[in-house]
Amino acid sequence: MKPDIQNIIKFIIHSLPEDSIVKRNLENINSGKWRSRAYYQFIDSAHPNTPGSKWIFKENIILEHPQSGTIVLDILEKDQPGGIEFYELI
């Protein structure tokens, strides 16, 4: 069963530092869609890490959710959330 993404987003927002740009971007993000059983994507990853792509990877934020376990937030350039991977569902 897929996690409740809205509750996961709230958890992530609550877990990030108050002055985090990622937090502000996540609070204002448009909805995404499930790309697999274990990955919820906000930004299209077509042609990743190439000039002109919307998906230019910067870093990961790894959090432990009490019910869903390890979640990995992909952060793109300009501190945009790219997607959420649910490690326990891989």
Look at residue 82 and give its three-state secondary structure. Answer: strand
The string of pLDDT tens digits covering residues 30-65 is 889 999 999 999 999 999 999 999 999 999 999 999
Report the percent of the chain where pLDDT is more than 70. 100
Please, is 61 exposed, middle or buried when counting C-beta atoms within 10 Å of its C-beta (0-12, 13-18, 19+)?
middle
Q: Which are the contacts of 35, defined by CB distance < 8 A and separation ≥ 6?
A: 41, 83
DSSP code, position 2: -
Whole-model pTM?
0.94
